[in-house]
Structure 1
Amino acid sequence: MMSKSEFRNKAISDRESQSGDEVKLKSQKIFERLISLDSVKNARSIMTYIDFRNEVQTRLLIDYCLSNGKNVVIPISVFKGRQLIPSQLMDPDKELQISKFGLLEPKPEYVRVFDKEELDVIIVPGVAFDKYGYRVGYGAGFYDRFLASIDNESVVKVGVAFELQLHDSVPHDSFDATVDIIVTEDRIIEICKKD
């Protein structure tokens, strides 16, 4: 069996093998499925990542949320302590810059720290997911820490992924956070929690 890091590297390689057109088309289908979810339709505040490299693209979702009066919240990565700080985004064309790590994040004057307990939906990226809601990230644990730190049990955690990122099982540890729903270009998977 592959180690978690070997699994991660293979999953990233698989995702990176897609063309830009494939990523765009599949991301559009994922967006259409996302906005069909009651949790997304009814949410007041949605946290989403801003895509990087060949991740599922999120700009359509950001624009949809802003045009429908929803609070859009994006993560700021703080590498000391490996934390995510939620910040409200109001104008993606004006407020973002490329960080020293190559991620789009708010310019300092547009950082608006948002109370994580007020989030209704969190869109969770991942390198790979399985049918139990486990995910493999990039290995730094940012999302595992962030999701574990939220006390609001009603927040809905939605993993977005391409079908090729979905596996029967992924390597995971007991402390890894899970998602409640996975949305791919082909389907919506509601995770049945094991009691």
Structure 2
Amino acid sequence: MTDRNGIRRWARQQRSALSPTEQDQAAKAAAQQALGLTELAGATTLALYLANDGELDPQPLLDALAGAGKTVLLPVLHPFVPGHLLFMRYQRGEAMTLNRFGIPEPQLDVRKVVPVSDIDVVFTPLVAFDDAGHRLGMGGGFYDRSLASYQGLVVGLAHDCQQHPALPVASWDKPLSLIVTPKGIKRFRS
């Protein structure tokens, strides 16, 4: 299978086949894997996401990082630049709103927006990944556009079942250096 949309369907079926218990166990296992990354030692500002549509849930990682005093950010759809994301400081318990895709995000507050250049690590969701560290997203290009000039570390979070041997690569696709799954950390050359 080499068609991007076909691979997306396949990967979404893989992760949607996981039971709620398997999803919960995977989220906790991946958080433990991520917390062991040496690259996080000096990181103070980290962007995560809220899970949607069977994505690996980063909530246990988010809670651990926030509990350790790190600045945790969540993405918000940019209100004026279509197809881009802003990253906002997150505080536990704050109310979320659903964006136009039905994904929860913090209520936009420009005082809490952090420039992408000030983020140490971005944990990104993905639909599929391959043996070379390529990431296949939902197809909207939000992360690709928003992180196009980002020089920091981008780490993919995924279920092991989302790995595909080889993804079709577009000119805008940048391979990830790291992908964290419940079973381990996959490192790639960047």
Paired residue secondary structure (1:148): coil
Paired residue secondary structure (1:102): coil
Contact 2:133 2:188 (C-alpha < 8 Å) held by counterparts: yes
Q: CA deviation at 1:81?
A: 2.0
Contact 2:127 2:137 (C-alpha < 8 Å) held by counterparts: yes
State the match for 1:78 in structure 2: 78
State the match for 2:159 in structure 1: 162
Please tell me whether residue 113 in structure 1 is matched to residue 98 in structure 2.
no
State the match for 1:31 in structure 2: 31
Please tell me whether residue 149 in structure 1 is matched to residue 149 in structure 2.
yes
Q: CA deviation at 1:27?
A: 1.2
Q: CA deviation at 1:102?
A: 1.4
Which 5+ residue runs of structure 2 have no aligned equivalent? none
Contact 1:4 1:172 (C-alpha < 8 Å) held by counterparts: no
Please tell me whether residue 45 in structure 1 is matched to residue 45 in structure 2.
yes
TM-score normalized with structure 1 length = 0.90
Greater shift, 56-65 or 102-111, is seen at 102-111
Greater shift, 105-114 or 48-57, is seen at 105-114
Which 5+ residue runs of structure 1 have no aligned equivalent? none
CA distance in 2, matches of 1:186, 1:4: 25
Q: Which amino acid aligns with 1:114?
A: V
Contact 1:129 1:170 (C-alpha < 8 Å) held by counterparts: yes
Paired residue secondary structure (2:101): coil
Contact 2:97 2:105 (C-alpha < 8 Å) held by counterparts: yes
CA distance in 2, matches of 1:18, 1:89: 28
Q: In percent, how many aligned pairs have the same letter?
A: 28
State the match for 1:14 in structure 2: 14
Label 1:110 to 1:24 Cα distance change in 2 as closer, same or farther (>3 A): farther
CA distance in 2, matches of 1:18, 1:167: 17
CA distance in 2, matches of 1:160, 1:191: 14
CA distance in 2, matches of 1:140, 1:100: 13
1:44-193 to 2 correspondences below 5 Å: 44-78=44-78, 81-91=82-92, 93-109=93-109, 112-150=112-150, 153=151, 155-193=152-190
Paired residue secondary structure (2:94): helix
Q: Which amino acid aligns with 1:3?
A: D
Greater shift, 77-86 or 125-134, is seen at 77-86
CA distance in 2, matches of 1:164, 1:20: 15
Q: Which amino acid aligns with 1:168?
A: P
